[in-house]
Structure 1
Amino acid sequence: MVLILIWSFFGNEVFSNSERSKNFVFKLRKIDNYIVRKIKEKEFKKGLQKQSKSISKTYEFAI
């Protein structure tokens, strides 16, 4: 997702040298994977918070 955005922004100027373009694309993939991983971690933490809230509500109801 970020890769496509940056690719369209820079165009072919960056990718004239094949070795440089491989490094550039590799770095973009690392950045993109990092962003996706952080988003998934936030969603996972939100899911855990929702589960703990529902468990505490169930516990209060049981008492």
Structure 2
Amino acid sequence: METLTPEQISTRLAELRQEHRLLDDQIQRMAANGDDELEAKRLKRRKLQLKDCIARLADMQIPDEPA
């Protein structure tokens, strides 16, 4: 696993959060229009993957505390 700098983590988090918002908007539009359910499921799966990546990166921003 590569080590990311705090700046790289922040940048990547911003990118992922933006993509997550865009997918959310697209999914809502598709639901309102009754569009392709299979495509909506694919987008929802991608959105969940992004959420997981965002959570992992956000955790990387928290400094380790001694137990």
Higher helix share: 1
Alignment of 1:1-63 (within 5 A): 2=17, 3=20, 5-6=21-22, 7-8=24-25, 10=26, 11-13=28-30, 16-43=35-62, 46-48=63-65, 51=66
Question: Who wins on radius of gyration, i.e. which is larger?
Answer: 1
Q: Could you say what secondary structure the match of 2:64 adopts?
A: helix
Counterparts of 2:40 and 2:30, CA distance in 1:
10
Q: Report the alpha carbon displacement of residue 18 of structure 1 after superposing the two structures with TM.
A: 0.3
Counterparts of 2:58 and 2:30, CA distance in 1:
31
Point out where structure 2 has 5 or more consecutive residues left out of the alignment. Answer: 1-16
The root-mean-square deviation of aligned C-alpha atoms, in Å, is 2.4
Point out where structure 1 has 5 or more consecutive residues left out of the alignment. Answer: 52-63
Identity of aligned residues (%): 7
The one of the two structures with greater contact order (alpha-carbon pairs below 8 A, sep at least 6) is 2
Kindly tell me the number of residue pairs found equivalent between the two proteins.
Answer: 44
Normalised by the length of structure 1, the TM-score is: 0.51
